[in-house]
Structures are given as C-alpha cells and as structure tokens.
C-alpha cells in the first residue's frame, strides 16, 4: 500500500489531483482510492485530499495518517498546517515552489527524511506560462510520477485527458511533462522510465 | 465495465440503468452528487423516459415520489441527515401504502450542532418507519444494492432505503463496476404496480382504518416486511447469477469459522475492521467479522447463526440513542440473549470522526485483555479531557464525573438506567 496526501488550498485542484492520480494508477492495473478530507471547503482555505495505491484491492476507508508521499500545492501551507505529520522514514515530498528545497528553510520539518526524495517543482510557474492560470495540480502529478516512479507520465497524461477536454487537456498534459522532466533532472535520473 | 469513478457517480449510473420514470429530490450534502448526476442524465436524454422533479423540499420530494409511485411509476429519491427527518412524516405513508420507492440515504449525522459528516443517526432514527433498510459496505455494494433494491421493493410492494456512508463512500473515487444495461434489464423486469391510481377508474388508497382493524393492518405490515428476509437472500443469489458477483444478502460472515471473537458493524467501517481482523488472525487470534447488510427487517436468525459459538461480541455503533444507549448493540443483545456470549457495546465514528484501524485494533486488544466492561457503553476515542472539563465547568460533583469517566474510557451504562449512575441533569 502506498499512501499519498495532498495539501492545497481550496481552488487549487487538490481533490481533482487525488482523483487523477487514482485514475492513473487504475490505468496501470493497480488498485486505487482517492478521497477528499470532507471539510467545509471554500476557496483559499487549506484542504487535504488522499490517494491510496496498492496491488491488492483496497477495503479500508479511514483517512491517511502515515503518508508515503506528501504533495504540497501551496508553499504558504508549510508553516500553517502540519503537512509532514506521520510521513514514513522513506517518504517522498514534493513542494510547489520555484525555489530549491534547501531555500525553503524547513530542515527541521523534514529532519530524518532522505534528502534525495525531497523535491520542489515550479508548478504554479509552469501552469501560468502554459495555461495562463495558476493551477499547480497537474504539474505536481507529473513531478510525482518522476519522483516515485509509481505511475508513468503517460498514465498521468491519460488521466488528465480523461478529466479535461481539448486545449485545456493538452496544455495540462504538457505541463505534467515539463514538471516530469524538471524532477528527473533535479533527482539526476536521466534514463527513460 | 470496471471504471475508476466516484461512488455517487456510479450510484447515479446504476439508478439510471434501473430506468426510473420519476426522480424527485432536493439537494443536501453528501447526497448532492448522486442527484446532480441523475439530473444530468435526464437533461441529456440518456435517461428517458424520466421526469426529474425540482421540488421545494425533502418533504416535497417524498410526497412527489408517493404520488408518482401510486400512479404506477418506478420512482427514486435520495437524501441525508435532516433531509431524511424532513421526510419523516411521509415515510410511513410510503410504507403503509406499500409503494416500492427506492431511496438512497447518504448517511450523515443529525444536528444540532450542525455537522455534515458521516454517521448512521439519520437512517437509524427512521428504523421503525416500515422501510427496508440496506447498508452498503463499499461503493461496489452500494451500486449493486440499488439494483437489488428495486427488485426487492417491487416484488414485495415495499419502499427500500439503500444506506451508504456519506462522503466516505459517496465522495470516494474507486474502481466500481456498474452492471451493463442488458444485465440490469435481465435482472430487473419492468415495474408492474399492484395498484394504480387512475383518474378514469378512481379508487381510494390509505383510507381510514379504525381500532377494529388497525392492529391487524400493522400485524400484516410486519409480516410483509419480514418476507423481505426471504426475498433478499433469493435476490442476492439471482444477482450473483446475473452479474457474477456476490453482493448484498442479509449478513456477511468474514473469517468467522472457529471465531471466538466477532466484531459486528454496518457500512463502510467493515473494510477497516476486516483489515484489522486479518492482522489479528495472522497473530493467531480467533476473530471474525459479521457485517449486517440488512438492518430492517432485522435478520435475527441469520445474525444468531453467524454469532453462534462466539465468546465475545464487539458491536460498533455509528449512532447513539441519547438517553438509551446503542441501537445496533441492543438488537445484538436481544439476538444472542441466553447464548452465553458477552456483548461489548461501542459507539464509534459519530459526526465523521474516523474509525481508524489503529483505534479498532486497540479496542479489540482491550477487550481481549478484559479492560472493557461489558456492562457499560463505551465511546471509541472519546476525548475524556474535554468531557471532564465540561463536566467541571457545569459544576458536576466529582463523584459523578468519576463514575462517568474511569479506567481510560468514558462510559455510559449499556443497559441504560441513567438515573442509577447519576448522568448529570440539565
């Protein structure tokens, strides 16, 4: 079982992101379950969404408290919400920011985690440039695919095209690919998945 | 076809494939996505012929369904929480008139205080309404139960509630197979109403019945509801033949062979409980799960058989009858009375508090270690400090609050004599 927790703000597509990740995993023949944190969501408020991925059928429906990966869609949440709570020792962290991880000054928060698994993605920047909107979720999914290797970029792109249509789908698929390349470069893995 | 979709979306598709002719609903979280999905299917013509009625309230929704069903239409509605309570006046009319309406209850707590999250208080509050109440363990089962519900409702001329946990199931995106239209058509024949209101041949239904026959009418209604127990078992088998999947039934036994301990529950929490039971089984604990799929009518014989031979029974209630205790737990106590089994009655997961596998594990360990008193009602993961602080603030005498809170779990008497334990008044 691989547990993903996505932290964002209402309107950034955290719930959609979890859903697309589950579709990508399903597409690869894995079992997946995506669900929101069921709060009284409103634009700008901190939200959480979850995705479980497993090679066996998933029965449990309790929230994820010990994530194997944390995706932070908005860096302003880093000091506002305990985003890394319960993360496993080998956990992956993906933060949306144009700055490198070392400059985030959150060493105390990620103490004990493998530094090679802590990555930033300029997701908002990529989205603004290509889509004209700050919608970081698809870039982060591309980055997640590169960082964890759990799902392929192609599956993420198929999930994006299933969720969106036309130009929006294509733009988001490209954004995911850019983020994928960015993370592979950052983590030093240049071979093709 | 297996698809990765939201539970609500899958239920909307499944209901549509049952070809309802009238859908009347008023949106309320967490049912909203289901009725939005159906309204889309009617708008685009994918569900036709069907009239989607925009009603002004839940009372209007059920009243419209009663009228439509009495006029011979297959009807559907969905609600939750206070929406179900707003239907309460009309619920016994639907059952008393024998109208085979199917309704989804996306289970949600009842306020005040307002709470949009999941528990079973809403459906449990209407357990005596004369409706059949089925509880889905998973989104797949929710889909399958809706299809079975129409067959059950129409064979017996009784309304059926399909209860599925709000948010936990309705908003979860999972792999779900919605049976194909041909499969549903083969399983569910067109609706042939037992009685039809027709202006050209007027009849009266629901006429006044006086003291000379009201008891007999109710007696017969009780018998009619109990017939659902036979029919549900038959339908589950027929469904398996038609769709190739075991779904529904009265009671699900999981690893109950040779079990000394059983956990009994309804709804989506069963998945987490099964995960915990697998771990305990690997450690050599003889434990199993009894999932109650049909809550009303109460499958007394099947539950009794499923629990036969167990020494300890842990009941997880996702509702709390204030001033009385548990609801499922009392049914279980009556069912196993005289068997020698010890019942541990636990209220868990009220108002959306997650019932985590870790908490379930701790509870079972405590029961095995005799740390849980079977004569008292327990509250899983109760924040004792908060309760204690409030009791102090209210000026509750220390000896009273000590009795309410001791040995690591806050307790109320399972057998519900509150005066005897000094439950604070006012």
Q: What number is the average pLDDT over the span A74-86?
A: 94
Average pLDDT over residues B297-321: 97
The CATH class for the domain spanning B251-421 reads alpha beta
- Tell me whether strands B251-254 and B173-177 are parallel, antiparallel or unpaired: unpaired
Closest CB from A27, A36, A62 relative to B171: A36
- CATH architecture of the domain B2-189+212-243 equals 3-Layer(aba) Sandwich (3.40)
Residues in B whose CB is inside 8 Å of some CB of A read 4, 6, 30, 116-118, 138, 165, 167-169, 171-175, 268-272, 274-275, 352, 354-358
Structure-model confidence comparison of residues B194 and B130, the more confident one: B130
pLDDT at position B59: 98
Cis peptide before B30 (omega within 30 of 0): yes
Q: Which residues of A touch B1 (CB under 8 A)?
A: none
What are the extents of the domains in chain B?
2-189+212-243, 251-421
On chain A, the residues whose CB falls within 8 A of the CB of B118 are 38
Judge whether B289 and B256 are in contact, CB under 8 Å.
yes
What percent of chain B has a predicted confidence (pLDDT) above 90? 88
Token pair for residue B181?
């239209």
Question: Which domains are seen in chain A, by residue range?
Answer: 2-186 (3.40.920.10)
Instruction: Kindly provide the ipTM of the predicted complex, given to two decimals.
Output: 0.94
Cα B400–Cα B318–Cα B15 angle in degrees, nearest 5: 160
d(CA A102, CA B107): 46
Candidates A61, A63, A86, A163: best to mutate against B (most CBs of B within 10 A) is A61
Chain A residues within 8 A of B274 when measuring between CB atoms: 59
Strand partners, B77: B103
Average pLDDT of the segment spanning A77-105:
93
Q: Out of A20-29, A106-115, B184-193, B255-264, which region has the weakest mean confidence (pLDDT)?
A: A106-115
Across chain B, mean pLDDT equals 93
Q: What is the pLDDT of residues A157-176, one digit of tens each?
A: 999 999 999 999 999 999 99
> Residue B426: pLDDT band by 50, 70, 90 thresholds?
very low
Are the C-beta atoms of B191 and B22 separated by less than 8 Å?
Answer: no
Residue B402 pLDDT exceeds 90 = no
Q: What percent of chain A has pLDDT over 90?
A: 82
What mean pLDDT is predicted for residues B115-136? 97
| Of residues B251 and B323, more confidently modeled | B251
- Crossing angle (nearest 10°) for helices A153-163 and A137-148: 160
Hey, what are B91's tokens? 């619920």
Task: Return the bridge partners of B411, or none.
Answer: B378
B239 exposed, middle or buried (CB, 10 Å; 0-12, 13-18, 19+)? buried
Nearest-CB residue to B275 (from A35, A36, A59): A59
Q: Token digits for B197?
A: 């209101």
Q: Quick one: closest CA in B to A50, which residue?
A: B172
Q: Is the pLDDT of residue B166 over 80?
A: yes
Q: Retrieve residue A18's tokens.
A: 């979890």
Say how many CA atoms lie within 13 Å of B145 toward its Cβ. Answer: 27
pLDDT score at B197: 92
Q: Lowest-confidence range among B17-26, B194-203, B302-311? A: B194-203
Listed residue (B370, B303, B369, B288) closest to B337, CA to CA: B303
Whether A188 shows a pLDDT value over 90: the answer reads: no
**Helix segments in B287-353, DSSP class H:** 300-307, 328-336
Domains B2-189+212-243 and B251-421 share a fold: yes
Instruction: Provide the token pair at B146.
Output: 């809706």
* pLDDT for position B42: 98
Given a cut of 80, whether residue B400 has pLDDT beyond it is: no
Average pLDDT over residues B204-230: 95
* DSSP letters for A166-186: HHHHHHHHHHHHHHHHHHHHH
Contacts of A38 in chain B (CB under 8 A): 30, 116-118, 167-168, 171, 352
A38 to B167: CB separation less than 8 angstroms, yes or no: yes
Q: Do residue B175 and residue A35 have CB atoms under 8 angstroms apart? A: no
pLDDT of B32 above 80: yes
| pLDDT band at residue B396 using 50, 70 and 90 as cut-offs | confident
Among A148-157, B35-44, B119-128, B200-209, which stretch is predicted with the lowest mean pLDDT?
B200-209
**Region A99-112 average pLDDT:** 89
pLDDT at residue B404, rounded to an integer:
58
Predicted pLDDT of residue B17: 98
pTM for the structure as a whole: 0.94
Residue B413's pLDDT band (boundaries 50, 70, 90)? Answer: low
Q: What's the rounded Cα separation, in Å, for the pair A193 and B373? A: 57
Q: How far apart are CA B407 and CA B224, in angstroms?
A: 46
DSSP lists the bridge partners of residue A49 as A6, A36
Q: Are strands B22-25 and A46-54 parallel, antiparallel or unpaired?
A: unpaired
């Amino acid at each position: 079982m691989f547990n993903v927790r996505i932290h964002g703000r209402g309107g950034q597509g955290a719930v959609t992101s979890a859903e697309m990740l589950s579709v990508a995993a399903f597409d690869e023949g894995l079992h997946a379950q995506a669900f929101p944190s069921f709060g009284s969501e409103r634009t700008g408020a901190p939200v959480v969404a979850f995705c479980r991925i497993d090679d066996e059928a998933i029965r449990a429906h309790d929230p994820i408290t010990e994530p194997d990966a944390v995706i932070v869609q908005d860096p302003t949440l880093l000091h506002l919400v305990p985003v890394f709570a319960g993360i496993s020792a080998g956990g992956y962290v993906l933060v949306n920011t144009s700055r490198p991880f070392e400059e985030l000054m959150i060493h105390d928060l990620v103490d004990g985690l493998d530094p090679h698994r802590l990555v930033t993605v300029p997701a908002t920047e990529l989205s603004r440039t290509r889509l004209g909107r700050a919608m970081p979720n698809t870039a982060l999914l591309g980055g997640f695919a590169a960082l964890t290797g759990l799902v392929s970029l192609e599956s993420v792109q198929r999930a994006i095209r299933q969720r969106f249509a036309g130009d929006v789908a294509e733009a988001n698929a490209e954004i995911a690919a850019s983020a994928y390349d960015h993370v592979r470069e950052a983590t030093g893995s240049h071979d093709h998945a | 076809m297996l698809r990765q979709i939201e539970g609500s979306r899958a239920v909307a598709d499944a209901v549509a494939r049952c070809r309802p002719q009238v859908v009347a609903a008023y949106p309320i979280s967490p049912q909203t996505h289901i009725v939005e999905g159906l309204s889309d299917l009617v708008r685009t013509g994918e569900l036709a012929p069907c009239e989607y009625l925009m009603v002004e309230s839940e009372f209007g929704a059920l009243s419209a369904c009663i009228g439509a069903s009495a006029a011979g239409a297959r009807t559907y509605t969905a609600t939750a929480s206070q929406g179900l309570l707003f239907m309460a006046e009309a619920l016994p009319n639907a059952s008393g008139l024998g109208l085979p309406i199917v309704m989804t209850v996306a289970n949600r707590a009842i306020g005040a205080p307002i709470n949009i999250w999941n528990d079973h208080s809403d459906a449990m509050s209407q357990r005596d309404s004369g409706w059949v109440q089925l509880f889905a363990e998973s989104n797949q089962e929710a889909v399958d139960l809706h299809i079975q519900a129409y067959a059950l409702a129409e064979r017996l001329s009784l309304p059926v509630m399909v209860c599925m946990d709000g948010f936990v199931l309705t908003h979860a995106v999972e792999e779900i197979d919605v049976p194909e239209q041909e499969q549903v058509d083969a399983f569910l024949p067109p609706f042939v109403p037992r009685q039809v209101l027709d202006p050209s041949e007027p009849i009266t239904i629901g006429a006044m019945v006086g003291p000379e026959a009201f008891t007999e009418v109710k007696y017969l209604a009780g018998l009619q509801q109990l017939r659902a127990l036979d029919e549900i078992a038959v339908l589950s088998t027929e469904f398996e033949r038609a769709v190739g999947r075991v779904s529904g039934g009265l009671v699900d036994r999981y690893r109950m062979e040779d079990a000394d301990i059983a956990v009994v529950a309804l709804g989506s929490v069963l998945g987490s409980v099964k995960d915990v039971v697998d771990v305990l089984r690997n450690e050599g604990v003889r434990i199993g799960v009894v999932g109650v799929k049909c809550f009303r009518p109460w499958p007394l014989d099947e539950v009794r058989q499923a629990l036969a031979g167990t020494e300890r029974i842990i009941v997880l209630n996702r509702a709390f009858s204030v001033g009385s205790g548990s609801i499922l737990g009392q049914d279980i106590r009556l069912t196993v009375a005289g068997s020698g089994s010890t019942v541990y009655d636990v209220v868990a997961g009220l108002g959306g508090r997650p019932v985590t596998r870790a908490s379930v594990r701790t509870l079972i360990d405590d029961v095995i270690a005799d740390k849980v008193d079977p004569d008292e009602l327990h509250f899983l993961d109760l924040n004792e400090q908060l309760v204690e602080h409030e009791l102090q603030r209210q000026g509750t005498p220390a000896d009273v609050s000590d009795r309410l809170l001791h040995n690591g779990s806050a307790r109320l008497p399972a057998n519900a004599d509150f005066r005897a334990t000094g439950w604070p008044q006012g």
